[in-house]
Amino acid sequence: MKKLVLALFIATGSLAMAQIKPDGKKFNKEEMQKKMEMKEQQRLSDMQKELNLNQAQVDKIKNLHEQRKAEMREEFEKNKGERQAKFEQMKARKQQMDNEMKNILSPDQFEKWQASRKAKIEERKAMMKDRAVNGERKMMKKPHPDASM
Protein backbone atom coordinates (compact mmCIF):
# COMPACT_ATOMS: atom_id res chain seq x y z
CA MET A 1 0.00 0.00 0.00
CA LYS A 2 2.87 2.37 0.84
CA LYS A 3 4.40 1.77 -2.57
CA LEU A 4 1.10 2.50 -4.27
CA VAL A 5 0.71 5.77 -2.36
CA LEU A 6 4.32 6.68 -3.17
CA ALA A 7 3.79 5.86 -6.86
CA LEU A 8 0.65 8.03 -6.94
CA PHE A 9 2.51 10.86 -5.22
CA ILE A 10 5.35 10.67 -7.75
CA ALA A 11 2.94 10.53 -10.70
CA THR A 12 0.99 13.54 -9.42
CA GLY A 13 4.18 15.50 -8.83
CA SER A 14 5.49 14.72 -12.29
CA LEU A 15 2.26 15.89 -13.89
CA ALA A 16 2.48 19.15 -11.99
CA MET A 17 6.12 19.55 -13.01
CA ALA A 18 5.29 18.97 -16.69
CA GLN A 19 3.86 22.48 -16.87
CA ILE A 20 6.98 24.05 -15.35
CA LYS A 21 10.11 24.74 -17.40
CA PRO A 22 13.56 23.85 -16.03
CA ASP A 23 14.17 27.47 -14.98
CA GLY A 24 11.09 27.30 -12.72
CA LYS A 25 8.73 29.37 -14.88
CA LYS A 26 5.38 28.05 -16.01
CA PHE A 27 4.87 27.20 -19.68
CA ASN A 28 3.14 30.03 -21.54
CA LYS A 29 1.85 29.39 -25.07
CA GLU A 30 1.61 33.07 -26.00
CA GLU A 31 5.15 33.69 -24.77
CA MET A 32 6.40 30.76 -26.82
CA GLN A 33 4.63 32.04 -29.95
CA LYS A 34 6.15 35.50 -29.50
CA LYS A 35 9.62 33.99 -29.16
CA MET A 36 9.10 31.92 -32.29
CA GLU A 37 7.95 35.00 -34.22
CA MET A 38 10.97 36.94 -33.01
CA LYS A 39 13.32 34.12 -34.08
CA GLU A 40 11.63 33.94 -37.47
CA GLN A 41 11.98 37.70 -37.89
CA GLN A 42 15.65 37.49 -36.89
CA ARG A 43 16.29 34.69 -39.39
CA LEU A 44 14.60 36.72 -42.10
CA SER A 45 16.69 39.76 -41.18
CA ASP A 46 19.88 37.70 -41.22
CA MET A 47 18.92 36.26 -44.60
CA GLN A 48 18.28 39.77 -45.92
CA LYS A 49 21.75 40.92 -44.85
CA GLU A 50 23.54 37.76 -45.94
CA LEU A 51 21.93 37.55 -49.38
CA ASN A 52 21.53 41.29 -49.88
CA LEU A 53 17.78 40.95 -50.48
CA ASN A 54 15.59 43.89 -51.42
CA GLN A 55 12.30 44.55 -49.59
CA ALA A 56 10.19 42.95 -52.34
CA GLN A 57 12.19 39.72 -52.00
CA VAL A 58 11.87 39.80 -48.22
CA ASP A 59 8.10 40.23 -48.53
CA LYS A 60 7.85 37.33 -50.98
CA ILE A 61 9.91 35.08 -48.71
CA LYS A 62 7.80 36.08 -45.72
CA ASN A 63 4.61 35.25 -47.68
CA LEU A 64 6.13 31.93 -48.74
CA HIS A 65 6.88 31.09 -45.10
CA GLU A 66 3.34 32.03 -44.05
CA GLN A 67 1.89 29.89 -46.84
CA ARG A 68 4.06 26.95 -45.79
CA LYS A 69 3.03 27.33 -42.14
CA ALA A 70 -0.64 27.40 -43.16
CA GLU A 71 -0.18 24.22 -45.23
CA MET A 72 1.55 22.50 -42.34
CA ARG A 73 -1.19 23.58 -39.92
CA GLU A 74 -3.84 22.28 -42.35
CA GLU A 75 -2.01 18.96 -42.70
CA PHE A 76 -1.73 18.70 -38.91
CA GLU A 77 -5.47 19.28 -38.48
CA LYS A 78 -6.29 16.83 -41.28
CA ASN A 79 -4.31 14.06 -39.55
CA LYS A 80 -5.61 14.87 -36.07
CA GLY A 81 -8.32 12.18 -36.19
CA GLU A 82 -5.83 9.57 -37.37
CA ARG A 83 -3.44 10.43 -34.54
CA GLN A 84 -6.30 10.25 -32.04
CA ALA A 85 -7.33 6.82 -33.39
CA LYS A 86 -3.75 5.54 -33.04
CA PHE A 87 -3.62 6.89 -29.50
CA GLU A 88 -6.86 5.08 -28.67
CA GLN A 89 -5.48 1.86 -30.17
CA MET A 90 -2.34 2.15 -28.05
CA LYS A 91 -4.47 2.79 -24.97
CA ALA A 92 -6.62 -0.27 -25.74
CA ARG A 93 -3.50 -2.44 -26.21
CA LYS A 94 -2.11 -1.21 -22.89
CA GLN A 95 -5.41 -2.00 -21.15
CA GLN A 96 -5.44 -5.47 -22.74
CA MET A 97 -1.86 -6.05 -21.55
CA ASP A 98 -2.80 -4.94 -18.05
CA ASN A 99 -5.80 -7.28 -17.99
CA GLU A 100 -3.73 -10.23 -19.19
CA MET A 101 -0.97 -9.48 -16.67
CA LYS A 102 -3.60 -9.22 -13.94
CA ASN A 103 -4.76 -12.76 -14.82
CA ILE A 104 -1.20 -14.11 -14.76
CA LEU A 105 0.21 -12.35 -11.69
CA SER A 106 -0.93 -12.38 -8.10
CA PRO A 107 -2.40 -9.07 -6.85
CA ASP A 108 0.87 -8.27 -5.01
CA GLN A 109 2.98 -9.12 -8.06
CA PHE A 110 0.72 -7.06 -10.31
CA GLU A 111 1.03 -4.05 -8.01
CA LYS A 112 4.84 -4.37 -7.98
CA TRP A 113 4.89 -4.74 -11.77
CA GLN A 114 2.82 -1.57 -12.22
CA ALA A 115 4.99 0.38 -9.78
CA SER A 116 8.12 -0.79 -11.59
CA ARG A 117 6.66 0.21 -14.94
CA LYS A 118 5.71 3.67 -13.64
CA ALA A 119 9.19 4.12 -12.18
CA LYS A 120 10.76 3.28 -15.54
CA ILE A 121 8.50 5.81 -17.28
CA GLU A 122 9.48 8.49 -14.76
CA GLU A 123 13.14 7.61 -15.25
CA ARG A 124 12.80 8.00 -19.04
CA LYS A 125 11.00 11.33 -18.61
CA ALA A 126 13.75 12.60 -16.32
CA MET A 127 16.41 11.45 -18.76
CA MET A 128 14.69 13.21 -21.65
CA LYS A 129 14.27 16.39 -19.62
CA ASP A 130 17.94 16.26 -18.64
CA ARG A 131 18.96 15.81 -22.28
CA ALA A 132 16.81 18.80 -23.28
CA VAL A 133 18.29 20.96 -20.53
CA ASN A 134 21.84 20.00 -21.50
CA GLY A 135 21.21 20.77 -25.17
CA GLU A 136 21.55 17.20 -26.42
CA ARG A 137 18.31 17.64 -28.37
CA LYS A 138 20.25 19.46 -31.07
CA MET A 139 21.73 16.16 -32.18
CA MET A 140 18.28 15.09 -33.37
CA LYS A 141 18.03 17.95 -35.87
CA LYS A 142 18.90 17.27 -39.49
CA PRO A 143 22.01 19.04 -40.73
CA HIS A 144 21.47 21.91 -43.11
CA PRO A 145 22.03 20.86 -46.76
CA ASP A 146 24.65 23.60 -47.22
CA ALA A 147 26.52 22.62 -44.04
CA SER A 148 28.79 20.21 -45.94
CA MET A 149 30.25 23.00 -48.08
Q: How far apart are CA 114 and CA 112, in angstroms?
A: 5
- Which pLDDT value is given to residue 149? 45
Tens-digit pLDDT string for the chain (149 aa):
555 555 555 655 555 555 555 555 566 888 888 998 999 999 999 999 999 999 999 999 999 999 999 999 998 888 888 888 899 999 999 999 999 999 999 999 999 999 999 999 999 999 998 887 877 655 555 555 555 54
Each domain of the chain, given as residue ranges in start order, spans 38-78, 85-121
The pTM (predicted TM-score) of the whole model is 0.45
Task: Report phi then psi at 8, rounded to 5.
Answer: -65, -40
- Which pLDDT value is given to residue 25? 58
DSSP string, 70-126: HHHHHHHHHTHHHHHHHHHHHHHHHHHHHHHHHHHS-HHHHHHHHHHHHHHHHHHHH
